Amino acid sequence: MRPAGGVYEVVVRSARKKTHQYPPPPLVWRSARRFSLRLVQAAAALLLAFGAVLAFPAAALAAQPAAAPGHSDLQFVISSFSLLIWGALVMWMCAGFTMLESGTVRTKNASMICLKNVGIYSIAALTYLFIGYNLMYVDVGDLIGTFRFLYSPLEVEVAALADDVSGLGDAIGAGSASMSNWLFQMLFVATTASIVSGAMLERVKLWSFWLFTVFLTAFIYPIVGAWTWGGGWLEQAGFQDFAGGTVVHTVGGSAALVGMMVVGPRFGKFRRDGTVKATPPSNVLVTTLGVLILWLGWFGFNAGSHGSLATPQDVIVMSAVLINTNLAAASGMLATVIISRRVFGRVGLSSSLNGALAGLVSITAAPTMAEHWWAVIIGAIGGVLCTLATWLLERMRLDDVVGAVPVHLVAGVWGTLAAVITTDVSLATQLVGVGSVMAFVLTASFVVWKLIDLVMGVRVAEEIERIGQDIGELGIESHPEFLLAPDDFDEY
């Protein structure tokens, strides 16, 4: 689906249009990069084909056990309430991403992150209301749901809001309020968009990113969601993704990878002499707070994804989910501590925090096992893979500011595949699932990003990047009263 020449060439060229002084990377890296990108392309094409073949017979095995036949009123109340409470914690992840990202970037760009992320969250709420939800959940066939403007709540629930509860019986049979589901799903979309943001910080234009967010949350994410959770072909095929290891994290991470390549690395990140400029967090306290917020938010993310809280079995599942979620994060963190000490000779704070997040991502696709030590192992491997991917990305001269690709894409794919260990799903199904989702998202994101680049550009002017987006685009400073050391912007 891409003309010859390689994704990256086009990408770099487009970035260069606006960045005439950007020096070419040394030949050996360029080759490695080109090779790996070709690999990605080939794999994507293969998997998409494979997915398409598999999609047509659309294996009919039902993924979820049938809902308990007769839900009582109180079961309905508790299940719905649980979605609302856990949903509140997912909302909190918006603060987590905002703090993590704004603490990581140069101080001259921190205000922009704050505005951007609150905006992303707001945009996602509206697009999901107007378009996304219908596309993801309403009358989904094999591929997509309904293309209709504005989410319409269930009629009997609308009636209940007007004090007519006569028809509620049917709604209760569904297990939980459709409105509570809507809220929970909406909060997931916002998360996905935040993930993309993290890779492209410090040089992507505010309005371009917001425009991409519209497409991602209105179309790209909902289409993947329809395949996997809305009853589409992957769900029919038995694809296992409990809380979004693929739907949220692989999608977000893939869009981040493409976006990062389209926008190009920050000036000065990769120097002419082959060295890489270190860009440690500008505010470690804020970054750490962000990670801990995400950790807490993940409790809501994974526990709420069970959906039902009607029976003792449900609450046991939810308990296991939380235990495993917490253990995977802990072991992801500790594994990274040990690895980074062994490999790099020193404990890395950023890598350790990312290790915790990678542990969380790794367990997200299948966190219900009773053998909690599997969570320890899966999380630890996730942390290690994340560290290696961070190293590799840098070698490929891809500039991922917060490590969105290592944390969300790499650990997301790992976790989706690792689901075969603790559930009955087959590796083939998981491979098809993750492969086709990646192929779709990489392609769709690339098209959208290129369109945006054509129309309004994706990258800020060099001068704005130099002085920072806070002053350059917003006219404010994040810490106007603090004396800051000038960033060694020119050193490349």
**Residue closer to a second copy (CB basis): 21 or 64:** 64
Q: Between residue 142 and residue 201, which ones bind a second copy under the rule CB under 8 A?
A: 150-151, 153, 157-158, 160-163, 165, 168, 171-172, 177, 179-180, 182-183, 186
Distance CA 458, CA 263 (A): 6
* Smallest distance, a second copy to C-beta of residue 292, A: 4
- H/E stretch holding 275 reads none
Under the binding rule (CB under 8 A), the answer on residue 4 touching a second copy is no
Is-contact 201 101, C-beta < 8 A?
Answer: yes
In 3D space, the residue among 87, 84, 70, 86 whose CA is nearest the CA of residue 175 turns out to be 70
Binding mask 300-339 for a second copy (x = CB under 8 A): x--x-----xxxxxxxxxxxx-xx--xx-xxx-xx--x--
Q: Between residue 203 and residue 232, which ones bind a second copy under the rule CB under 8 A?
A: 206
Q: Which of 85, 388, 461, 471 binds a second copy (CB under 8 A)?
A: 85
CA geometry: angle 311, 366, 362, nearest 5 deg: 140
Q: Between residue 458 and residue 487, which ones bind a second copy under the rule CB under 8 A?
A: 470, 473-485, 487
Under the binding rule (CB under 8 A), the answer on residue 115 touching a second copy is yes
Under the binding rule (CB under 8 A), the answer on residue 342 touching a second copy is no
* Smallest distance, a second copy to C-beta of residue 376, A: 7
**Residue closer to a second copy (CB basis): 53 or 484:** 484
| String of DSSP letters for 33-67 | HHHHHHHHHHHHHHHHHHHHHHHTT-----SSPPP
Is-contact 404 252, C-beta < 8 A?
Answer: yes
Is-contact 459 263, C-beta < 8 A?
Answer: yes
Q: Which of 78, 402, 425, 441 binds a second copy (CB under 8 A)?
A: 78
Stretch that binds a second copy, among 83-91, 137-145, 212-220, 387-395 (CB under 8 A): 83-91
In 3D space, the residue among 306, 294, 277, 302 whose CA is nearest the CA of residue 333 turns out to be 294
Stretch that binds a second copy, among 4-12, 197-205, 280-288, 412-420 (CB under 8 A): 280-288
**Residue closer to a second copy (CB basis): 330 or 439:** 330
Under the binding rule (CB under 8 A), the answer on residue 82 touching a second copy is yes
Under the binding rule (CB under 8 A), the answer on residue 46 touching a second copy is no
Under the binding rule (CB under 8 A), the answer on residue 75 touching a second copy is yes
Per-residue CA distances from 359 to 28, 330, 335, 386 (Å): 33, 7, 9, 9
**Residue closer to a second copy (CB basis): 50 or 81:** 81
For residue 279, give every residue at least 6 positions away whose Cβ sits within 8 Å of its Cβ, in sequence order, or none. 106, 266, 269, 401
Per the DSSP assignment, residues forming a β-bridge with 270 are 276
Answer positive or negative: Cα dihedral of 419, 425, 429, 433. Answer: negative
Under the binding rule (CB under 8 A), the answer on residue 271 touching a second copy is no
**Residue closer to a second copy (CB basis): 59 or 161:** 161
Q: Between residue 16 and residue 45, which ones bind a second copy under the rule CB under 8 A?
A: none
Under the binding rule (CB under 8 A), the answer on residue 430 touching a second copy is no
Listed in order, strand segments (DSSP E) in 210-258 are: none
In 3D space, the residue among 142, 141, 140, 172 whose CA is nearest the CA of residue 154 turns out to be 172
Stretch that binds a second copy, among 88-96, 197-205, 250-258, 453-461 (CB under 8 A): 88-96
27-63: b (≥16 Cβ within 10 Å) or e: eeebeebeebbeebbeebeebbebbeebbeeeeeeeb
Under the binding rule (CB under 8 A), the answer on residue 92 touching a second copy is yes
Under the binding rule (CB under 8 A), the answer on residue 6 touching a second copy is no
In 3D space, the residue among 45, 42, 442 whose CA is nearest the CA of residue 255 turns out to be 442
Under the binding rule (CB under 8 A), the answer on residue 74 touching a second copy is yes
Stretch that binds a second copy, among 53-61, 267-275, 276-284, 394-402 (CB under 8 A): 276-284
Q: Between residue 359 and residue 418, which ones bind a second copy under the rule CB under 8 A?
A: 368-370, 372-373, 376
